Structure 1
């Protein structure tokens, strides 16, 4: 790795602030494409709201002046820009081992795409060693203008999904929506003794423990889980788990990465 710019201007930490090693870390991969730039802007705003450090991994196709201009708007962030001679997939996965959140656009300059999803997205999200956000969706959602964070619950990673969504909604000062989809009658699904409403109640109880002043909106959707992605409009972020098998994303997660109307966060268990 070769650093091409040093840290931008930073604010002096007070004695009451936590040590630097406790600061959340965000990494963003950008190639200068439209969605690469959108991902960079999303990561900058998120790092600012979460009081996180930011490292930008820049491809050769990126415009260094444009990156510098965007960083200058957030000059108070602890931020750096790094280039790499490695492949984008290797660079991003390498970065994921040393960060808390990895951000990328849902496709870039290269034309090897499947149904509009860049060829790097599924391999990176599946193998990343941290949470990932894939920036996609309609412009208002990408800009964070709806004021809602949605957590999809009903899987084995509900606790971490709810924790992440609650923390982000609190920092963003957004509303929190908990959504659970259960299959219609006659659909092939795994049988469960748990009532669908119990899933939402358990998630709601966890929110109350984490942030008593935050009252989530509860939404029960009678559909296949992957179809519930279409109901997540007017949301700025959809948070969900990766699925039950390591390295193999669940159908609802894959569907969200392809079709969600907003950025998608896949938590790392």
Structure 2
């Protein structure tokens, strides 16, 4: 009797979408820092990197930086369009947009003129590279999440992702005015804000134990408190099309790169 064997079926491997990072660079030191930061982050998650370069950029400098990461899929596009239009168009089909906080054209208080419009209108998370050198290079191994807004869950989710990928510690901060200060009304118990954040972190990544820090100051001054941090993760505010005072202050004053999450 002949025995027949049914061929075994090889399970189909699920398609894993590669994260996509867009980065704007213009040949200035902060444009170069944005490209370096984007490439380092892409290497931690095997993401593709699409470089949107200004006509003033140094092509050879971009090529040298990309050559240091030969395993990453990358493209370079030079567009005659305005930086704001090019970057906002890029944000439509990317997961993260990375820009330097200052370019060739400075706006109010030293922030590049394109930064606030891009962060406000971006269709994806935006990282603005700023701060002291060690923070930009990711040497502190601390990620800070600023809580107290309506997008706290997304802020914590992004902060946990970065902390896990970079093997960093996580700090949750919440700013509350000093007793007797009436310029900003306190709507929730500050301790409850931090406790909810702590519980969410533990539910998301059980091996990650966050540090909690309550800052007694006006909320817009909290950006100064994320010293020795490699990244500040913050929400955009509660009014679509407008950045909150807290977020805008962080883009002007934070001593480290700032990630502004984009709610779905």
Normalising by structure 2, we get a TM-score of 0.92
Q: Compared with structure 1, are the counterparts of its residues 17 and 78 closer, same or farther at alpha carbon in structure 2 (3 Å cutoff)?
A: farther
Is 1:222 the equivalent of 2:216? yes
Distance in 2 between the 1:196 and 1:100 partners? 31
In the other structure, the counterpart of 1:173 is 167
In the other structure, the counterpart of 2:102 is 107
In the other structure, the counterpart of 1:203 is 197
Distance in 2 between the 1:185 and 1:222 partners? 9
Is 1:25 the equivalent of 2:16? no
Q: CA deviation at 1:229?
A: 1.0
Q: CA deviation at 1:50?
A: 2.2
Q: CA deviation at 1:113?
A: 2.2
Is 1:76 the equivalent of 2:110? no
Q: CA deviation at 1:158?
A: 0.1
Number of equivalences: 252
Moved more, 238-247 or 79-88: 79-88
Q: Secondary structure at the match of 1:249?
A: coil
In the other structure, the counterpart of 2:90 is 95
Q: Compared with structure 1, are the counterparts of its residues 103 and 17 closer, same or farther at alpha carbon in structure 2 (3 Å cutoff)?
A: farther
Q: Secondary structure at the match of 1:155?
A: coil
Q: CA deviation at 1:40?
A: 0.4
In the other structure, the counterpart of 2:110 is 116
In the other structure, the counterpart of 2:124 is 130
Q: CA deviation at 1:85?
A: 1.8
Q: Compared with structure 1, are the counterparts of its residues 17 and 90 closer, same or farther at alpha carbon in structure 2 (3 Å cutoff)?
A: farther
Distance in 2 between the 1:133 and 1:122 partners? 12
* Aligned residues: CA RMSD: 1.4
Larger radius of gyration: 2
Q: CA deviation at 1:19?
A: 2.9
Q: CA deviation at 1:16?
A: 9.3
Is 1:54 the equivalent of 2:38? no
Is 1:262 the equivalent of 2:259? no
Normalising by structure 1, we get a TM-score of 0.91
Distance in 2 between the 1:25 and 1:45 partners? 13
CA contact under 8 A between 2:28 and 2:104: conserved in structure 1? yes
Aligned match for 2:143, one of 149, 153, 172: 149
Q: CA deviation at 1:258?
A: 0.5
Q: Compared with structure 1, are the counterparts of its residues 256 and 197 closer, same or farther at alpha carbon in structure 2 (3 Å cutoff)?
A: same
Distance in 1 between the 2:12 and 2:42 partners? 20
Distance in 1 between the 2:126 and 2:66 partners? 21
Distance in 1 between the 2:186 and 2:250 partners? 23
